[in-house]
């Protein structure tokens, strides 16, 4: 079976160093739990989180859907909005 490759332009790049936000983000990532069903995500935001030698990928949908390191996760709407609010206000 063939695969389709989609290419999306980078519209906005942001480096975040706010320690309060990063503490909230760290807690958000620790609280994520895997979603037990296979569904597709409508990803609109992709964040690469750098920890020195290690990286994680956090993908967010416009209104829902969270994918962390290629694993679909349960949504936490209020936490998802926290991340989006930081991205949209910078």
For every residue of 51-76, DSSP letters joined together read ETTEEEEEEEESSS-EEETTEEE---
Task: Kindly report the pTM of this predicted structure.
Answer: 0.75
User: What are the tokens at 67?
Assistant: 């994918």
CA dihedral 20, 23, 24, 27 (to 10 degrees): -170
d(CA 35, CA 27) in angstroms, rounded, equals 18
**83: buried, middle or exposed (CB in 10 Å: 19+, 13-18, 0-12)?**
buried
State how far Cα 5 lies from the chain centre.
20
Under the banding of pLDDT at 50, 70 and 90, the label for residue 83 is confident
pLDDT computed for residue 8 by the predictor: 58
pLDDT tens-digit map of 18-62: 899 889 889 989 999 998 877 777 788 888 888 889 999 988 887
């Amino acid at each position: 079976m063939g695969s389709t490759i989609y290419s999306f332009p980078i519209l906005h790049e942001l480096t975040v160093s706010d320690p309060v936000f990063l503490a909230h983000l760290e807690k958000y990532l620790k609280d994520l739990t895997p979603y037990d069903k296979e569904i597709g995500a409508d990803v609109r935001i992709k964040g690469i989180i750098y920890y020195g030698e290690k990286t994680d990928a956090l993908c967010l949908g416009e209104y829902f859907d969270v994918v962390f390191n290629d694993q679909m996760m349960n949504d936490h709407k209020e936490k998802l909005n926290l991340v989006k609010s930081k991205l949209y206000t910078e």
